[in-house]
Amino acid sequence: MNREFTEALKNEFGTNILDAVTSRNETYLTVKKEANVKICDHIYHHLDIPLISIFATDERKKDGCFKVHYVFSIGKGDAFVIIKINIDGKSPRYNSITHKIAAANWYEREIQDMFGLLPVGHPDPRRLVHFEDWPDGVYPLRKDFDIKTKPPRVEGEYVYRRVEGEGVYEIPVGPVHAGVIEPGHFRFSVAGEPIINLEIRHFYTHKGVEKLFENISLDKAVFLAERISGDNSAAHAVAFCQAVERIAGIDIPARAKYIRVVLLELERVYNHLGDIAGIATDVAFAMGAAHANRLKEEILQLNEKVTGSRMLRGMNAIGGVRRDIGDKKDEILLKLSEIQHDFRELIEYLMAIPSLVDRIETTGRIYNDTAKGLHVVGPAARASGIDRDMRRDHAYAAYPEFNFKVPVQKAGDVNARTLVRADEVCESIGLIEQALWSLPDGDIKINIGEIPDGYALGYTEAPRGETLYWVMIENNRIVRCKVRDPSFCNWLAIEYAVLDNIVPDFPIVNKSLSLSYSGNDM
Amino acid sequence: MTVEDEVEIMGQRLNSRIKNIFGRSLHIREVDAGSCNACEVEVNSLSNPIYDIERFGIHIVASPRHADMLLVTGPVTRNMELALLKTYNATPSPKLVAAMGSCACNGGIFGDTYASGGGVDKFIPVDVYIPGCPPRPQAVIFGIMVAIDKLAQKIKKTEVNP
């Protein structure tokens, strides 16, 4: 797959492609800096391959330049194509691709803030990660920036988009919200009830995670990956471990792969149950919410019994898993069958209540082309008719061994997202059952010594959608770890989803997209 | 002992203390100062039908102006510092502050960096520390109980002896 693809690109672009390296399912094509727009546009629009991440590296010490990577994912054939351009540190500028590919928007702004590489021609060149009080010319992910530096606060102002007209007013919300949720700022422009425009402003919880990865040892890094987005701990940890395992070229024991599937699916079940509870809460249907919350709590208690942590933390390690769950098999299966029975009943009950369905049908619609253009991922994408799931398209751990369906809905509204989640819960329980019934014997972890120098992608389908890691290791230390949480893709979709909806429906739309602030801000 | 029994026993003790000091109930405002959202999951768990802390007289409120106590999570990021201070100043005195989770206690794994402040007590006075990553709901209930005892001491100190 990769070879044909590389040949086709070489024929099309000839001397613009300087170098091609393939390892595993990843092909790295170094191209001329000036050709990035042309080539990315061709891959994205002509070959119809989605752009799933853009990130930069500071390799000035070794190669004398910065590098920007564009990651494309070929679902059919399980391959990744990474287009690389080199950028000289003396003139840190390159051409923006956002006017061709809308999904590149935030990535380019993030690189501008963290590396000081200027995307020339970006339609919205404001800051993204740093606030107005951050001084100019300080870029945390450059190698010459010390993580302990505390840059002074400077004067500055953030300019919001303004909507003007008769009767238009603004509603600012956050960063400290009324409910128990994470911090972020929303600015609604409203005329009467319907929302004309929403601007989101995030990165309140920016904790310098990517820089921190470069300053800690490898085993501690798993611990950090678990704490990027708290309720997606297992998905992040597995994605990180898989990246490192791929660099080391090791295949973990089959039993560990099966256990990882159980952990990842338990996580999906409790997240989806929590989201369904949230939707019931936001339409003021307390009884439905109480039922869903009880089921979620039962999974959290099961997690604690099985792994020692309600959030499934501390289980994954580079080379496998830390704790065997074989002896808890019957307990898990029994509990899940009870939960499945109750859950089916609950969903039937919820979906038969007209006042609930009325609130969620046609609310917060994300049309298929919007979802595709922004590269929305996870249940939100599948509810808008995008049939993508990393577990199937880029299978990892033990997923190739199991049967499962990827539920897809077309409507793109809150109702569709709820139905996708409901179906996924049942599929997940099915996956856990399959994994536990056929749990292979053997070790759960292999010892790995020094990790050789290299780089690789690691990925999982978290409850919120595809989670992507790109790790580069030198001398057994991480020199760059790019984390792409699913929420980073999905946040912009909410600006479209709420249009023409009324302000009181915003919480439902927000909950139905189930977005992580911390995973986004990092 | 089941989780339900644990919560019941602790909750009754908590309830009697709240009654003694506050008359009716304790109002808490939760502030996320940059947590990873696991602590939020556990705070939300406190309101589910298993723990249901409202029956012990604890109410999670929407505004700091209604709160007796702030429950702060996260290492206090550079970008949340101002919002946390504003929230603290908006809370009427006498007030309690509980730092929930390892990050809030001392920065946790995020430490003290360009973006992370390294713990709540560097920015506002903290009365109780609730360790754990994240702390279990039972631990949070226990932490709140310890905080209430501290408030009793605080009130005593401010009383003028005849």
Residues 6+ apart with CB under 8 A from A93: A87, A117, A118, A120
A209: contact with B, CB 8 A cutoff: yes
- CATH code of A2-120, in short, is 3.30.460.80
- Those of residues 220-239 in A touching chain B at CB distance below 8 A are 220, 223-224, 227-231, 233
Indicate whether A504 pLDDT > 60.
yes
A140, A146 contact by CB (below 8 A) = no
Across residues A124-128, what is the average pLDDT?
A: 90
Confidence grade of residue A216 (pLDDT, cut at 50, 70, 90):
very high
- ipTM confidence: 0.90
Task: Let me know if B111 is exposed, middle or buried by CB neighbors in 10 A (0-12, 13-18, 19+).
Answer: buried
Q: What span, in angstroms and rounded, lies between the C-alpha atoms of B22 and B68?
A: 9
Residue of B3, B30, B37, B70 to mutate, testing the A interface (most A Cβ within 10 Å of its Cβ): B37
Report the percentage of chain A scoring pLDDT > 70: 100
Indicate whether A297 pLDDT > 90.
yes
Backbone φ and ψ for A491, nearest 5 degrees, come out as: -60, -40
Query: Taking the CA atoms of chain A, what radius of gyration do you get in angstroms?
Result: 23
Residue of B85, B87, B114, B123 to mutate, testing the A interface (most A Cβ within 10 Å of its Cβ): B114
Across residues A349-376, what is the average pLDDT?
A: 91
Range of lowest pLDDT (A234-243, A417-426, B84-93, B153-162): B153-162
pLDDT tens column, A26-82: 899 999 988 889 899 999 998 889 999 999 999 999 888 999 999 999 878 888 999
pLDDT at residue A456, rounded to an integer: 93
pLDDT at residue A67, rounded to an integer: 93
Q: If DSSP codes are grouped into helix, strand and coil, which group holds residue A150? A: coil
Q: Domain-by-domain residue ranges, chain A?
A: 2-120, 209-311+324-521
Across residues A213-229, what is the average pLDDT?
A: 91
pLDDT tens column, A308-328: 999 999 999 999 999 999 889
Q: At what angle do helices A254-282 and A506-513 cross, to 10 degrees?
A: 170
How many domains, chain B? 1
Query: Taking the CA atoms of chain B, what radius of gyration do you get in angstroms?
Result: 15
Q: What span, in angstroms and rounded, lies between the C-alpha atoms of B38 and B30?
A: 13
Backbone φ and ψ for A99, nearest 5 degrees, come out as: -65, -20
**Distances from the Cα of B94 to the Cαs of B62, B125, B152, in angstroms?**
19, 12, 10
Judging contacts by C-beta atoms under 8 Å, the chain B residues touching residue A182 are: 32, 35, 37, 40
Confidence grade of residue A1 (pLDDT, cut at 50, 70, 90):
low
> Which one of A212, A293, A294 has the shortest CB-CB distance to B110?
A212
Does residue B9 lie within any of the structural domains? no
Q: What CATH code is carried by the domain that includes residue B72?
A: 3.40.50.12280
pLDDT at residue B160, rounded to an integer: 62
Indicate whether A333 pLDDT > 60.
yes
Residues 6+ apart with CB under 8 A from B147: B69, B96, B98, B127, B128
**Distances from the Cα of A254 to the Cαs of A264, A290, A398, B39, B154, in angstroms?**
15, 38, 7, 33, 58
Across residues A140-147, what is the average pLDDT?
A: 91
Backbone φ and ψ for A126, nearest 5 degrees, come out as: -70, 170
Domain, as residue range, for B107: 24-151
Judging contacts by C-beta atoms under 8 Å, the chain A residues touching residue B63 are: 178
Confidence grade of residue B161 (pLDDT, cut at 50, 70, 90):
low
Across residues B99-116, what is the average pLDDT?
A: 92
- Those of residues 138-177 in A touching chain B at CB distance below 8 A are 140, 145, 147-151, 175-176
Across residues A349-356, what is the average pLDDT?
A: 91
Q: Please give the interface size between A and B, counted as residue pairs whose CB atoms are below 8 Å apart.
A: 135
Q: Do B114 and A176 touch (CB under 8 A)?
A: no
Judging contacts by C-beta atoms under 8 Å, the chain B residues touching residue A211 are: 113-115
Between B28 and A17, where is the model more confident?
A: B28
Backbone φ and ψ for A510, nearest 5 degrees, come out as: -60, -45
Neighbour tally for A126: CB within 10 Å: 14
Q: Do B87 and A176 touch (CB under 8 A)?
A: yes
Residues written for chain A: 522
Between B93 and A343, where is the model more confident?
A: A343
pLDDT at residue B12, rounded to an integer: 83
Does residue B162 lie within any of the structural domains? no
Q: Do B114 and A206 touch (CB under 8 A)?
A: no
Confidence grade of residue B4 (pLDDT, cut at 50, 70, 90):
confident
Across residues B32-36, what is the average pLDDT?
A: 92
Q: Do B48 and A181 touch (CB under 8 A)?
A: no
Does residue B17 lie within any of the structural domains? no
A5, A81 contact by CB (below 8 A) = yes
Where b means 16+ CB within 10 Å and e means fewer, B138-150 reads ebbbbbbbebbee
Does residue B65 lie within any of the structural domains? yes
**A205, A236, A222: which is closest to B75 by C-alpha?**
A205
**A471, A467, A466, A468: which is closest to A456 by C-alpha?**
A471
Average pLDDT taken over every residue of chain A? 91
**A200, A198, A240, A291: which is closest to A481 by C-alpha?**
A240
A300: contact with B, CB 8 A cutoff: yes
Does residue B3 lie within any of the structural domains? no
Strands A26-31 and A79-88: parallel
Judging contacts by C-beta atoms under 8 Å, the chain A residues touching residue B35 are: 182, 205, 230, 518
Q: Which tokens in the block code for residue A277?
A: 């509870």
Range of lowest pLDDT (A187-191, A474-478, B22-26): B22-26
Say which CATH class A209-311+324-521 falls into: mainly alpha
Confidence grade of residue B16 (pLDDT, cut at 50, 70, 90):
confident
> Which one of A148, A180, A301 has the shortest CB-CB distance to B43?
A180
Across residues A22-27, what is the average pLDDT?
A: 87
- Those of residues 503-522 in A touching chain B at CB distance below 8 A are 516-519
Indicate whether B162 pLDDT > 70.
no
B72, B130 contact by CB (below 8 A) = no
Between A429 and A7, where is the model more confident?
A: A429
Q: What span, in angstroms and rounded, lies between the C-alpha atoms of A318 and A106?
A: 31
Does residue B8 lie within any of the structural domains? no
pLDDT at residue A247, rounded to an integer: 93
**Distances from the Cα of A497 to the Cαs of A207, A506, B52, in angstroms?**
28, 9, 33
The nearest alpha carbon in chain B to A231 belongs to B38
